[in-house]
Amino acid sequence: MKEKWGKMKEDLSLSTNNGTEVDARVSPTFLRSFLQVQDILDQNSLLINEINHNHESKNPDFLSRNVGLIRLLNNNMGRAVDIYADLPTSMMRSVETTSEGDTRSSEKPNANRFLSRFPFSKDSSKKIWTAHGRSMQLDLIEVKLLPVSVYVALAKAHVPPIRKDPRYFLTFYWGREGETCSAESSGSLPLWTPDRRIPQEFIHQSLEKVASGGFSMETVVEVEGSGEEKFEDSVINNSICNTSLSKQAEDPVVYKLVRVEGDGRLVPATDDEIIEVADLLKDETIDVDIVPNSKKNTSISIEETSNVTVLLENQGYLHCQKDKADTGKLDVRVQLSTFPLVDDSDARNINQDSDAGESSDSPSPKMGSVLSPTTVCGISKPYFSKLRGEICLDNLSIRELHEAFKATFGRDTTVKDKAWLKRRIMMGLTNSSDVSMTNFTIKDGKVLVTGNEGNSKEVYAHAVFSNPLKVVDETKESSAIYGTSYLEDSQVVSLKRLRNHDLVDDYRSDSLNKEELTAKRIRKPTRRYIEELSKIESQGHSRLTSSCQGSGQPSPQLYTTTATSKGVCSNSRTFVTRLDSLAGIQVPCVSRLRRSRPRKDIMSLMFHHSSMEAVTGIMKKALHSYRSAGESGSSYAQLMSTQKQHIEESEKLRHCEATDKIEQDKYINGGDSVSFEDACNDKVVTVPTAKGGIRRKHHRAWTLSEVMKLVDGVSRYGAGRWSEIKRLAFASYSYRTSVDLKDKWRNLLKAANFASAPTDVMNSRKHTTTPIPAPILSRVRELAEINGQALPWNLSSAKVGFNGRSANRSVAGYL
DNA sequence: CTTAGGG
DNA sequence: CCCTAAG
């Protein structure tokens, strides 16, 4: 490990040049090393020094981040590449639309195609890619595949207007491909910590999140775009549908190892690179076969040459499939071959396990009966039944868990954390499922494509339901562990703060409605799967909230199509929600779940009296505990830890309420989300509040955790970069716009100023709303200072805020 | 579209 | 939270 990191240091280089160029290189080795969970954990902690940059920003005005970026893709749904690059805002600004017009030969279309896979790409023909009107130029991208949609960014952040000690962030991002909002960071670490170590827990938690698919459903469906959509759907079809795969086989695909250059070109890898990478991969086993023998005949060998490229790709290069004129669809595809987290041995073991233990298992009573593979796709043999036997991982001893771990990953672990072990094992399983889902397998040095609807579904079903984890409980457990052990040996306050921060984040995302969440989480799959599921649900009794009840009943053949059926392709289109118009086949349900900006008045739906009471109750509880904590010398960190559960509760409750309501409405509207939205849009304009006042239509109270997130976001990205913050920290809060964030921040500033004033009227006086904890406010003040935001003392609004507020106006100092 | 600022 | 202006 040491060596790895040592090497990594060389591999990683970040440099800036007058703020307009960034050369970000992170070697694949870096990533692989980094993501070798076991290794990471075995090594007590990582030395940040070793991954530190060797280059500081020369230009002090370059306030943004230099990002060593990586990307990954979850190809588990056969989706095409989705790359996201994290670039400094200032860079986005400084980089103007360039390199236009100079048409580049045949390479160009490919590049554009490729770039069109970027979440934000709209105008790829002109610019490299654009996000929100800004064009961004990427000097270099190296792509790394990870089992889940994760990418890791090593970022150096100079919080404006310039902080002498730049903060370094090691951040895990995750999300789903196609997610407009990209991802949410799991937390960052200021590398100025004395010992310059990355706390194990940090990585721990990050990976935990990743493993549990720490993202919410809402954000999934937001990829908009007229032309691109088809494109994307086609992609899905292409890879899922057996026939197209066959087609590919007939028309051998030419793979190329490419790199993305700043101007958008895809530069073929040099021989040197190839050699180097190939060399690196030498020790990586390739003869993985996760596909049961019985399925092999459906496998299609793509091309022998792809061998090399796949390997290369594993080393962080992109795998570019040459454009095929006939389809005009997918031209870029990243294949999942081996995973950093689940190495080959993992896969093999899993396979074995499934073969071995399958008979003895009875499906999980909950859902198994409803969603057993058999039910789903008429295929009898589950892949991971043993794993699925799961499992009651809860009841296993540490030792047993270790065994399970070994069985899953083929190696020992020293980790003692039960929760983690469980999760990790599950993660391995899920990832393995993903592998299968990808329909790509490597066998005997050949790439096998094993695409077929049935397989996919089957595996999926297992991926979903083999996870028995009680997410909430478990998380609490582990969080608690971290929370304590953490603080015990922590060295710095700042570190504490950060950690607790993360804990809070974890908490929030992990313990939403338990049932729902487990369903959501695991169902990393996309709409397609959701749709299928919903049909099943309508026949069964499952209560998976993220799916809809279909008004039109699914045609049975959708589920019975076999791998070899030629009709699969056209049928499969019906699986793709967005293709409804294309296929001309009626799509039963849930096509457009919250496609554009989500309803803003969702809160009005959410607040029934009962729930409102509950919420306020929770908040009061939280407040109480905060206060008591404050008496014993509270700190920001303390606050975080003491509050998180309350916050969580409230969030959970809200979430629950919201989804419940949505569910209801779905029923009412027959699952047609369009009419659903319409019906909702002209609802209540105002909502009476407890005090008899009136709240605005689109008002949604800020939760404490949201505020904290905002504060955190500001600290990370700087005040003013609201869209950035929105994107990265509020991705899951679709109802908060960047403007909202800005407004809230403004209010926080006011609040902070007020709070600093001697008269502590705010907290003394009873209020219906919850006061913002002082630690947060002080942090706000701190950040305001850093950001050069003059304290708006003379702001009239600030003074009026307290007395002259309207019921609708948010009051400074309160949530 | 993003951000700032007034309402 | 809404709206607008400026970029």
Q: Round the average pLDDT of chain A to a whole number and report it.
A: 37
Whether residue A640 is contained in a domain is answered as: no
Which of A182, A210, A238 is the C-terminal boundary of a domain? A210
Whether residue A252 is contained in a domain is answered as: no
> Residue A365 contacts by C-beta under 8 Å, 6 or more apart in sequence?
none
Please tell me whether residues A511 and A366 are part of one structural domain.
Answer: yes
Q: Which of residues 678-717 of A touch strand C (CB under 7 A)?
A: 696-700, 702
Residue A782 has a pLDDT of 74
Which of A155, A177, A210 is the C-terminal boundary of a domain? A210
Residue (of A409, A437, A282, A276) closest to A342 by Cα position:
A409
Higher pLDDT: A454 or A470? It is: A454
* Chain C footprint positions (protein CB, under 7 Å): 1-4, 7
Residue A205 has a pLDDT of 56
Q: Which nucleotide is nearest to A810 (CA to C1')?
A: C1
Task: Supply the range of the domain harboring residue A56.
Answer: 2-95+137-210
Q: Is the CB of A738 under 7 A from strand B?
A: yes
| Through-space separation of residue A789 CA and nucleotide C3 C1' in angstroms | 23
Higher pLDDT: A682 or A754? It is: A754
Q: Which CATH number covers residue A740?
A: 1.10.246.220
Q: Is the CB of A502 under 7 A from strand C?
A: no
Residue (of A128, A78, A85, A80) closest to A104 by Cα position:
A128
Does A714 have pLDDT greater than 70?
yes
At residue A103, the 3 state secondary structure works out as coil
Whether residue A511 is contained in a domain is answered as: yes
Whether residue A143 is contained in a domain is answered as: yes
pLDDT tens string A775-791: 788 778 877 776 767 65
pLDDT tens string A343-371: 233 333 333 333 333 333 333 222 222 22
Q: Which nucleotide is nearest to A597 (CA to C1')?
A: B1
Which of A516, A537, A568 is the C-terminal boundary of a domain? A568
Whether residue A574 is contained in a domain is answered as: no
What is the total count of domains within chain A? 3
Residues A814 and A700 sit within 8 Å (Cβ to Cβ):
no
CA distance A406 to A369: 29
**DSSP designation for A168:** E
Whether residue A18 is contained in a domain is answered as: yes
* Chain B footprint positions (protein CB, under 7 Å): 1-7
Whether residue A330 is contained in a domain is answered as: no
Whether residue A171 is contained in a domain is answered as: yes
Q: Is the CB of A717 under 7 A from strand B?
A: no
| Through-space separation of residue A733 CA and nucleotide B5 C1' in angstroms | 24
Residue type, A374: T
Residue A709 has a pLDDT of 80
Q: Is the CB of A739 under 7 A from strand C?
A: yes
Residues A797 and A811 sit within 8 Å (Cβ to Cβ):
no
Residue A688 has a pLDDT of 55
Residue A227 has a pLDDT of 23
Residue A416 has a pLDDT of 61
pLDDT tens string A176-225: 333 222 333 334 444 334 444 445 555 555 545 444 443 322 211 111 22
Q: Is the CB of A133 under 7 A from strand B?
A: yes
Residue type, A173: Y
Does A712 have pLDDT greater than 70?
yes
pLDDT tens string A617-667: 333 333 343 333 333 333 444 444 444 444 444 444 444 343 333 333 333
Cα A288 → chain centroid: 27
**DSSP designation for A443:** E
Residue A776 has a pLDDT of 82
Residue A417 has a pLDDT of 60
> Residue A158 contacts by C-beta under 8 Å, 6 or more apart in sequence?
A57, A60, A62, A63, A64, A65, A166, A167
